[in-house]
């Protein structure tokens, strides 16, 4: 099998992850070095990937060698395993897969468990100083929670994956808080009082070192500005990134990592997370953003506040698409839906909006006649980024 075929074989192994104690026992037996890795776990509904990137950037600028495990990928499966902003090479990925293929099959591991396992193996081989691990879904039962951490983070709690996490926000908060561990730092930028109460209740049982992060910022001449350790920083990044940056800064501070002004400024100046407010080099403004649930769409619309162009949207069938479209309608711009090649795609033809193919959208992106905001499913954004020029 080549790499593509091996990935396809992994993709056939989707499903419910194993009991965390069982998964950890496998790690202890076959990959015992995982216990020697210094790790930070990042959970939450939105902003997990961005927070991982902020942490990685800040730590790398401070001289640390940093591994990052995230999912899903946008274009290449290799994006899931990164060291110092460089994805694992296919030959390195294949060597790790081949080493464990029989074990993966014997234990009937899911694709996510295999991805996580391979990331840990790679981080150990690369001798990273810190590994940043993004939760797959939820937290309490997620495979990443089988590991030990020096800090566990929750970005926020919102509506997503209700069929798995529960149909009320308090239940979702409970599932997210399941990553808390005794005497381990637990920070969150979640602001809803009912969700904070759930976290406090979980903390009273799990006894983490819980902290609620408030990261104030303000608009100054169209830029977001904030104070950090007696220095003022400004950024043109969208407002929804500010809490993610604040959580990363507070985590470094709480862990005793001193950050110089120039390191923080360099992280801000160079910050990029593909598919999250990605701007293409076009004569008109073309923005792609993987806002794929209601909270994500609300944050995107709030950050933009005013848009004078067209909007293109696509989503998977497990999302509240009609409510997301209502939020986009508050920008008072033409909305066009885009069909994608996936059985999981929402039946967009049932909605009363213009519908075009992905190929037509790519043609419009390559030859724009107005500003374009393209948002929705990360799968959709990844397919588009793979095909567009530049």
Q: Per residue in 78-90, pLDDT tens? A: 999 999 999 999 9
What phi, psi does 228 have (nearest 5°)? -145, 115
Tens digits of per-residue pLDDT, 243-289?
999 999 999 999 999 999 999 999 999 998 888 889 998 999 999 99
Residue 163 pLDDT > 80? no
Rounded distance between C-alpha atoms, residue 107 and residue 130, angstroms: 28
Judged against a pLDDT cut of 80, whether residue 53 lies above it is answered with: yes
CATH 3.40.50.620 corresponds to the domain 278-387: no
Name residues whose C-beta falls within 8 Å of residue 244's C-beta, 6 or more positions apart in sequence. 47, 50, 51, 54, 155, 189
Q: Which of 373, 258, 371 is nearest to 312 (CA)?
A: 373
Average pLDDT over residues 306-327: 90
**What percent of the chain clears pLDDT 70, i.e. is strictly above it?**
97
pLDDT score for 319: 75
Average pLDDT over residues 29-50: 96
Burial of 363 (0-12, 13-18, 19+ CB in 10 A): middle
Of the listed ranges 6-10, 109-113, 124-128, 161-165, the one predicted with least confidence: 161-165
Q: Check residue 385 and give its pLDDT.
A: 92
Q: How does 274-293 read in b/e, with b if 16+ C-beta sit within 10 Å?
A: bbbbbebebeeebbbbbbbb
Mean of the per-residue pLDDT values of the chain:
93
What SS3 class is residue 94? helix
161 has a pLDDT exceeding 70? no
pLDDT of residue 17: 87
Q: How far apart are the first and last CA of the chain?
A: 32
177-200 mean pLDDT: 97
User: Quick one: pLDDT band at residue 29, thresholds 50, 70, 90?
Assistant: very high
- Assess whether pLDDT exceeds 80 at residue 125: yes
HSE at residue 376, side-chain half, CA atoms within 13 A, is: 33
User: Nearest CA to 41 among 154, 171, 121, 203?
Assistant: 154
The answer, yes or no, to whether residue 311 has pLDDT greater than 80, is yes
pLDDT of residue 304: 84
Q: Where are the beta strands (DSSP E) in the chain?
A: 39-43, 66-69, 81-83, 86-87, 130-134, 151-154, 185-188, 209-212, 218-220, 223-228, 231-235, 278-280, 286-289, 309-314, 335-339, 355-357, 371-376
DSSP per residue over 140-178, as a string?
A: TT-GGGGS--SEEEE----S--HHHH-SSHHHHHHHHHT
Report which DSSP code applies to 15.
S
CATH class of 3-270: alpha beta
Q: What is the pLDDT of residue 5?
A: 93
Domain ranges of the chain: 3-270, 278-387
Q: Which of 40-54, 88-102, 240-254, 341-355 has the lowest mean pLDDT?
A: 341-355
pLDDT confidence of residue 390:
62
pLDDT at residue 160 above 80?
A: no
Q: What is the pLDDT of residues 227-254, one digit of tens each?
A: 999 999 999 888 889 999 999 999 999 9
How far apart are the C-alpha atoms of 113 and 298, rounded to whole Å? Answer: 32
Residue found under tokens 């296919």: 90
Question: For 290-307, what is the mean pLDDT?
Answer: 87
Which 3 state secondary structure label does DSSP give 268?
helix
- Please determine, for residue 352, whether its predicted confidence score (pLDDT) is greater than 70: yes
């Amino acid at each position: 099998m080549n790499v593509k075929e091996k990935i396809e074989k992994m993709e056939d192994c989707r499903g419910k992850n194993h009991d965390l104690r069982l998964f950890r026992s496998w790690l202890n037996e076959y990959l015992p070095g995982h216990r020697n890795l210094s790790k930070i776990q990042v959970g939450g509904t939105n902003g997990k990937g961005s927070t991982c990137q902020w942490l990685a950037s800040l730590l790398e600028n401070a001289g640390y060698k940093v591994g990052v495990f995230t999912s899903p990928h946008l274009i290449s499966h290799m994006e899931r395993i990164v060291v110092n902003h460089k994805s694992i090479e296919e030959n390195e990925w294949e060597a790790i897969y081949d080493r464990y293929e029989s074990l993966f099959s014997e234990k009937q591991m899911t694709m996510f468990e295999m991805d996580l396992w391979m990331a840990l193996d790679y981080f150990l081989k690369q001798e990273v100083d810190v590994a940043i691990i993004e939760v797959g879904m939820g937290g309490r039962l997620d495979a990443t929670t089988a590991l030990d951490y020096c800090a566990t983070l929750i970005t926020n709690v919102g509506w997503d994956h209700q069929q798995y996490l529960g149909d009320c926000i308090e239940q979702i908060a409970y599932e997210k808080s399941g990553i808390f561990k005794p005497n381990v730092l637990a920070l969150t930028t979640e602001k809803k009082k009912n969700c904070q109460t759930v976290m406090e209740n979980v903390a009273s049982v799990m006894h983490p070192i819980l902290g609620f992060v408030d990261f104030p910022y303000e608009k100054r001449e169209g830029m977001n500005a904030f104070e950090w350790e007696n220095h003022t920083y400004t950024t043109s990044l969208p407002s929804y990134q500010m809490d993610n940056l604040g959580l990363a800064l507070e985590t470094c501070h709480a862990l005793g990592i001193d950050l110089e002004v120039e390191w923080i400024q360099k992280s801000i100046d160079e910050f990029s997370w593909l598919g999250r407010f990605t701007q293409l080099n076009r004569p008109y403004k073309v923005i792609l953003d993987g806002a794929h649930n209601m909270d994500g769409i609300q944050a995107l619309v709030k950050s933009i506040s005013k848009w004078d162009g067209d909007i293109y949207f696509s989503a998977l069938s497990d999302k509240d698409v009609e409510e997301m479209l209502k939020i986009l309608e508050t920008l008072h711009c033409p909305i066009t839906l885009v069909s994608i090649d996936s059985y999981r795609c929402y039946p967009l033809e049932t909605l009363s909006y213009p519908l075009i193919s992905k190929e037509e959208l790519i043609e419009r992106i390559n030859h724009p006649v107005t500003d374009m905001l393209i948002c929705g499913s990360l799968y959709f954004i990844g397919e588009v980024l793979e095909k567009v020029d530049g």
